[in-house]
Structure 1
Amino acid sequence: MRKLVALILAVLVSLSALHIGSVGASDIKYASVTGISLPLGGSAQLGPYTVKFTDASLGWDSVYLTVEGPDGRMSAVLKVGKSLAYPSSDPDKMLLNVSVLWIKSDSKSVLLTISSPLTKLYSGKAIPVGTEFSLPSGFPQIKIKLLSVSDTEATFTVRMPYGASYTLEIPKGQSRSVSYKLDDLHTYVSYLSIEVLNTTKNSGAVINLYIPRVASTTLKVTVPGEETQENPTTPVVETTILYNDLVYVGERLPVKYNGTTYYFKLLSVIPDLARVEVYTANKTYATYTLEAGDVPKAIPGTPFLVAISKTQPDYKRAILKVYGPIEAEVNPILRSAQVVANITAVPKKVLLGQDIVLSIGVENLGRGDAYQLNVAAPIPNGFQLVSMTKSWQIKNLPAFTKLPMLVYVLRPTKVGKFDIGKVLVTYYDDQSLETGKMKTIYSAPLTDIEVYAIPKLSLNALAYNGTWSNYVTAKVNSTVTLALTVQASKGNPTYEFIQNATLVLTYPKSLKGQTVLNLGTIKAGDVKTVKVPLQVLGENLSLVKATLKYLDPLGNAHEVNFGTVATVNSIPPEVIVKEVKVWPKPEELPAYINQTLAKMDNATPIAEQILSVASAYVPPKKESNPWKPLAIIFILTTLVLAGVTYNYWRELEALKEKVLRKKQRRPGGLPKKDEEENEIELL
């Protein structure tokens, strides 16, 4: 089985036998040690970092790996194709990335790749043609020489400490890399990469040079029950990058080694130059003026090298690189963040119903980063939130940076003068992370937000020509008085009003009067009346139209067209005679027909027509006994005769009585015999 594993590893090594890679500069990310085979319980140590194969699942589909180093211990259960980043997955903080290539259940082993992110050792380094230089002390003594340069490429030779030599032809704008042989089975692929930034024919080139963050060339593979496998021909390099981060003027970086604490203090910064002092509590070792991007300088009497990769004078800081023994311990610098916030509004004066756009600015003025920021926007009474967001969470705010403006929108619901309030920001920084106490700050309050409104306006117009009405009659050359009343609804007169109000009247040619009436400012609850005399010039049905023009409280122009507000009729009345047929009432028809027929010379035709029409509405007569009328007449005649006979008899009796009385009143003398007899005969 050992022979099979060796054969597989030999194949993997042969794939990189040339030790030369060709990639674009932007693609260079990692240097990798491939083909590390570990049995269960085995380990691989690269510099100060140890990767151990601790356990495997029952089905051998996943393995349990542990990585230990100066930054602590990390473990993970991984399947094929997965990886463990140490000590963080953040590309700026990652040192190693351990990947599982395969898992062999029959041999109970795992095949790993250990990668380390590349870091820039030289930045913008100018090299004349023919110049040879080596990596700084503490790194493998790799020698690099610029052989020739054209307008498009540069040619280098790279000689390794173990005798191998490579020629690299690198086009401008691209990179080439070489691998470092660790032992007979393992190679550190892309260990050194050269990027050509610019070339000057027959003169020189400008390059960036990259090496892995874990630059150790010592690999120890340990198998349980066997001796440690180690490359006996390669010198042990125990130097690594201890610190590669910001340092501010006046700050000191403490590095502890062999019981002694060394301090690296940044004294001053100017463009491309920084002055650094290295000392302990009892001794000052060196004070250097370092050029940005220059080769790291060894500090006499110490195991450290120091370099500056970038300066930022505006912020009084530089990026300091410290190289030293892998056993050295760097104590982090705990910096305080200084977060400030502000809030502004556009506009600060609005009409009711209009939106206010508020902008929140958050900036870190301190030297330390701020973490887990929470920004809360104020929303006072009298406003409603229109936008979707009123709070924001920000993971990290680096020193001397500001966030893009945080924007939200409010809409006022009433008029008046308001204070929006303060922005609340909570966050952590390096110091508060140590104590676990969150920091809280407030912005200055946003005040004096004014909300105005236009009151509801109405117009009433009346004309007078004896009586008040919106419709009057008038004669030509007379004068009619027009009264116009503008009324504003009730409200807050301080914030609800119109200004520069003007009534514009429109007349036809038949009327003449003032056309522009100035009303000035009309506040909520005001009533203003103006009167205008109108001269009637001609006959017409004249319509008076009105338009109200004004400025709102913010000075914006408005116009309200009320249309026709009054009518003046100057057309005189006209008498029109027209014959209208009047029909008699039903009860008047008989008399009317009789009167009409009487006036006609020949009424018979009309009478027959009337009779023909009327007969249709007269019910037919019933048949009767022909003797019945005769009988009735006979009875009536008999009764009449009886009455006459009875009266006659009574009168006769009365006459007889009268004659007898006369005869009795003559005493003596002889009666007149002849006369009496005549009377009796008459009777």
Structure 2
Amino acid sequence: MRKPALILASLLILSLFSSWSVFAENQVKYAAINDVSLGLKDQVKIGPYSVKFSDADPDWKRVSFEVSGPSGSKIFVGTDGDVFYYPSEGDQYLAIRLVWVSEASGKVVISIKAPLREIMTTENPLKKGDHVSLPAGFPDIQIYVDSISTESKKVTFEISYPYGDTEHLTLQEGEGDGIDYRLPGGYIYSNYVYIDVLSISKDGVKFTVYAPRVASTDFKIIRNNENGNQPSETPEQTVLVYNGLLYVDENLPVKVDNTTYYVKVVSTIPDVAKVEILKGSQSLGTMLLEVGDVPKNVPNTPLQLSVQGVEPDYQRATIRVYAPMGAQVTPILRQANLVAKIDAIPKEIMLDDNLVITINVQNLGRGDAYDVNVAAPIPDDFELVSMAESWTLKNLPAFTNMPALIYVLKPTKVGEFDIGKVIVTFYDDKSLDTGKKRVVYSQPLTGIKVYSIPTLDVTAQAYNGTWGNYVSAKVNDTVKLKFTVRASDGNPDYEFIKNATLLLDLTSNLDGQPVIDVGMLKAGETKVVSLDVKVLKENLTNVRATLIYLDPLGGQHRLDLGNIVTINSIPPKVIVEEVKVWPTPDELPDYVNKTLSGMEDPMPLASELANISTYYLPKEEKSNPWQPTAIIFIILTIVLAGMAYKYWDEAQKLREKLERKKQHRPGGLPKKEGEKESKESSEIVEL
């Protein structure tokens, strides 16, 4: 029976701790034993320390604990979320957090934490294979250096526990993390050993090891016996023998001494699993296990059970089974059911594009798959652009998917292709016994179509009487334009263009339809289209063209053809130029005479002409000594006649000039006859 005095005292103590805070995790690192469930008057012991759930208010708003240890006993009172430090916050050995208070169940859940302290630092760097042990007074835990990577600054430790388990821990330089220790009754001392990596070099790794200030692994819960207030202890030899999945209707065999018990999941609902326990073929009854509840004793057996999670969708639960030391659990062999799918989006591509293929692998069975290898198909007419041809996954649990595998292929030719099947090889629980891998195949990926565009050639001609790239026309003439579009040879089913259109730039000099429909053009095909244009202005007009078309998948393309036809509508102009014409043979003598008479010194030319003429004159048998003289005389006569003619011509011009001057004189005194004659005589002499 609860006494009012005790309640008043508890309230007084509570007022002194109203400002307590939660764990200062950012300042202090802790090791922790979590989810310790205590009924009224129950207590938990860890080494020389004990925490007892001593009392509770009538409404269970506040509860009190008695914490004992080398520093004496202390009473703490609090509610959900409060933290108590023993012996004090400034000198912590234990920090007890009140996690949950339930009046309905008459229980509280607490977490017991102990601050970490440094216990050792490696003096010299440790190389691969080296190890250290925890100092005396601690459990026989060995820390091995399993591997070191100086490039990535990573080290992997292998931790060996005294109860036979091993664990691996990978850390980077400057990083720290903890490992857990298994306690009696299925409890875990988390962060029991904390490793902080100081440096990683070619010489090895240096690190510091931390352990809790209360490092005892002597852990037990003493339950209050309601019948006679005699405490009953949880057997220290009870250990966790199974922590894993159980599916509905599966029987997990647990052999204790010479007796085999079976744990069977009957049904699952959210957060609750119904479990049946059998002794041989005899049913001992069923239990309802709630997620997060403490392990429950199985009546008439040495077993304890708890459930850590329930997945009704998969009809399974994660069950923990505790049994005395030496108990054996026969694992259930489950078969994996792997399903592979391969797909490509889109399934129609152009020859220059890449084909992106996605592979999905899913395990639909109850068993895990191990060493899963996925081989991707690569057909002959494709090249691998990126990623690998195969992938490996160490473990693919039941009802999980492998991350999507993506790789890229590039086609080397057009056509329709089958990519092929995905090949998946793996082990599961059953095939591990036989040592033979299982093989499954996906459905084949088919119907991949690869298209291309043929090489296009466009020529043009104009007609205005004749065909050509350059024509002449007059204003208001009609000129016919003809365009020939050719596609190179290839596969007409997969190499073609569609919706082709010619766009013409006629400028303002021509009148006509600027858009010409060409339509579809397959490989090896030729199309001819034409139109009439009317000449509107006098100009030199270049007709520029652009071919616009769609590829087989609808992508738009433009081919600039440039100036393909020229129409000249400028009228021709008459240009008169003097052209040098040689005299005819009949005109030559007169021409020579005129030429020589106009020269100041005709003698050199006359001599050269005489030499030329002599070559063509007939030769007599007896040479006439006077013949050369006669020829020279004739030439001289011609020359002198020309000079006389020139002299006469100049005299006539002078006489006319004098007459004009005389006529222009208006009057004045007449000159004497002697003066006039004298002047005329002087001018004649000058000539």
**Structure 2 residue aligned with 1:145, among 25, 32, 53?**
53
- String of CA shifts for 1:489-548, please: whole Å, max 9, x gaps: 111111111111111122132222221111211111111111212222222112112111
Decide whether aligned partners of structure 1 residues 216 and 366 sit closer, same or farther in structure 2, where only a CA change above 3 A counts.
Answer: closer
SS at match of 2:565: strand
Q: 1:60 matched to which residue of 2?
A: none
* SS of equivalent residue, structure 2 residue 457: strand
Distance 2:73 2:463 in 1: 116
Cα pair distance change 1:216/1:568, threshold 3 Å: closer
Question: How far off is 1:213 after superposition?
Answer: 2.2
Q: CA deviation at 1:163?
A: 12
**Distance change >3 Å, CA 431–CA 403, structure 1 → 2:** same
Return closer, same or farther for 1:199/1:259 CA change in 2, 3 Å cut-off: closer
2:406 partner letter: V
- 1:599 paired to 2:594: yes
Deviations along 1:407-456, one digit per CA (max 9) or x if unpaired, are 10011111111111111111111111111111111111111111111111
Cα separation, partners in 2 of 1:159 and 1:307, compared to 1, 3 Å? farther
Query: In the alignment, residue 593 of structure 2 is paired with which amino acid?
Result: A
CA distance in 2, matches of 1:172, 1:386: 60
Partners of 2:40 and 2:107 within 8 A in 1: no
- What percentage of residue pairs aligned between the two structures are identical? 46
Letter aligned with residue 468 of structure 1? W
CA distance in 2: counterparts of 1:26 and 1:378, whole angstroms: 55
Letter in 1 for 2:504: L
Residue equivalent to 1:306: 305
Q: CA deviation at 1:284?
A: 2.1
**Conserved in 1, the CA contact under 8 Å of 2:501 and 2:515?**
yes
Residue 545 in structure 1 maps to residue 544 in structure 2:
yes
- Alignment length, in residue pairs? 471
Query: Which amino acid in structure 2 is aligned with residue 520 of structure 1?
Result: G
Question: 2:453 and 2:323 mapped to 1: Cα distance?
Answer: 75
Correspondence 1:387-466 to 2 at 5 A: 387-466=386-465
Contact 1:24 1:174 in 2 (8 A): no
Secondary structure of the residue aligned to 1:401 is coil
What are the residue-to-residue correspondences of 1:270-669 with 2, within 5 Å?
270-580=269-579, 598-599=593-594, 603=598, 605-607=600-602
Change over 3 Å in CA distance of 1:386–1:532 after alignment to 2: same
Is contact 1:276-1:290 (8 Å) kept?
yes
CA distance in structure 2 between the aligned counterparts of 1:350 and 1:134, rounded to whole angstroms = 73
Name the residue aligned to 1:38. Answer: none
Structure 2 distance, partners of 1:178, 1:551, is 82
User: CA offsets, 1:164-203, max 9 Å, x none?
Assistant: 8577899998999999xxxxxxxxx99x986665899xx9
Note if contact 2:487-2:525 (Cα within 8 Å) is conserved in structure 1: yes
Measured in 2, the distance between the counterparts of 1:174 and 1:432 equals 52
Q: Classify 1:559/1:423 alpha carbon distance in 2 versus 1 (closer, same or farther; 3 Å).
A: same
For the pair shown, the structure with the greater C-alpha radius of gyration is 1
Match of 1:44 in 2: none
Shift of 1:602: 5.2
Which amino acid is 1:368 matched to? G
Whether the 8 Å CA contact 2:583–2:591 is kept in 1: the answer is no
CA distance in 1, matches of 2:82, 2:373: 43
Gap change, CA 1:374 and 1:601, over 3 Å in 2: closer
Q: Deviations over 1:328-353 (max 9, x none)?
A: 11111111111111111121110111
**Could you say if the C-alpha distance between residues 175 and 464 of structure 1 is closer, same or farther in structure 2, counting changes exceeding 3 Å?**
farther
Partner in structure 2 of residue 643 of structure 1:
none
Task: Provide closer, same or farther for how the CA distance between residues 603 and 462 of structure 1 changes in structure 2, counting only shifts above 3 A.
Answer: closer
1:46-57 correspondence to structure 2 within 5 Å: none
Structure 1 residue runs without a partner (length 5+): 1-21, 32-117, 180-188, 218-230, 619-631, 634-683
Measured in 2, the distance between the counterparts of 1:459 and 1:146 equals 100
In structure 2, what is the Cα distance between the partners aligned to 1:279 and 1:423?
44
Asked whether the 8 Å contact 1:30–1:212 carries over to 2, the reply is: no
The verdict on how the C-alpha distance between 1:169 and 1:26 changes in structure 2, with shifts beyond 3 A counting, is farther
Note if contact 1:271-1:311 (Cα within 8 Å) is conserved in structure 2. Answer: yes
Cα displacement (A) at 1:30: 7.1
The match for 1:213 is: 182
Amino acid at match of 1:475: K
| Partner Cα distance (1:171, 1:580) in 2 | 127
Q: Is the 8 A contact 1:350 1:452 kept in 2?
A: yes
- Equivalent AA in structure 1 for residue 328 of structure 2: E
Residues 596/320 of structure 1: CA separation in 2 closer, same or farther (3 Å cut) = same
Residues 446/259 of structure 1: CA separation in 2 closer, same or farther (3 Å cut): same
CA contact (8 A) 2:84 2:97 kept: yes
Measured in 2, the distance between the counterparts of 1:564 and 1:395 equals 66
SS in 1 for 2:302: coil
What is the Cα deviation at residue 373 of structure 1?
Answer: 0.7
Asked whether the 8 Å contact 2:373–2:391 carries over to 1, the reply is: yes
Deviation at residue 283 of structure 1 after TM alignment: 2.6
Offset of residue 611 of structure 1:
8.0
Q: Does structure 2 retain, via aligned residues, the 8 Å contact 1:507–1:544?
A: yes
Contact kept, 8 Å, 1:305 with 1:322, in 2: the verdict is: yes
Residue type of the partner of 1:560?
L
Q: Structure 1 residues 400 and 173 mapped into 2: Cα distance closer, same or farther (>3 Å)? A: farther
Q: Is the 8 A contact 1:134 1:141 kept in 2?
A: no
Q: CA deviation at 1:144?
A: 3.7
Q: Structure 2 regions of 5+ residues with no counterpart?
A: 1-22, 114-179, 187-217, 223-232, 613-623, 626-687
Distance in 2, matches of 1:249 and 1:209, equals: 35
- C-alpha displacement at 1:578, in angstroms? 2.0
Whether the aligned pair in 1 keeps the contact of 2:263 and 2:275 (CA below 8 Å) is yes
What residue in structure 2 maps to residue 259 of structure 1? 258
Q: Distance in 2 between matches of 1:140 and 1:397?
A: 45
The answer on whether the counterparts of 2:79 and 2:101 sit within 8 Å (CA) in structure 1 is no
- CA–CA separation in structure 2 for the residues paired with 1:146 and 1:444: 67
Distance 1:140 1:260 in 2: 36
**Structure 1 partner of 2:267:** 268
Change (3 A) 1:561 1:147: farther
Distance in 2 between residues matched to 1:172 and 1:583, nearest whole Å: 132
C-alpha change, 1:486 and 1:603, in structure 2 (3 Å) is closer
For the 8 Å contact 2:596–2:602, the answer to whether it is kept is: no
Return the letter of the residue paired with 1:306: L
Q: Is the 2:86–2:95 contact (alpha carbons within 8 Å) kept by the matching residues of 1?
A: yes
Helix, strand or coil: the match of 2:359? Answer: strand
Alignment of 1:223-262 (within 5 A): 237-262=236-261
Instruction: Tell me the secondary structure at the aligned position of residue 446 of structure 1.
Output: coil
Task: Tell me how far 1:271 sits from its aligned partner.
Answer: 1.0
Alpha-carbon spacing, 1:453–1:603, altered in 2? closer, same or farther (3 Å): closer
1:158 Cα deviation after fit: 4.3
Find the aligned partners of 1:356 and 1:178 in 2 and give their Cα distance. 67
Task: For residues 460-497 of structure 1, give each alpha carbon's deviation from its aligned partner in whole angstroms, at most 9, with x where no partner exists.
Answer: 11111222111111222222211111111111111111
Say if 1:602 and 1:300 are closer, same or farther in 2 by CA, change over 3 A.
closer
Q: 1:204 to 1:245 in 2, by over 3 A?
A: closer
| Aligned mates of 1:477, 1:447 — CA distance in 2 | 61
Could you tell me how far 1:314 is from its partner in structure 2? Answer: 2.0
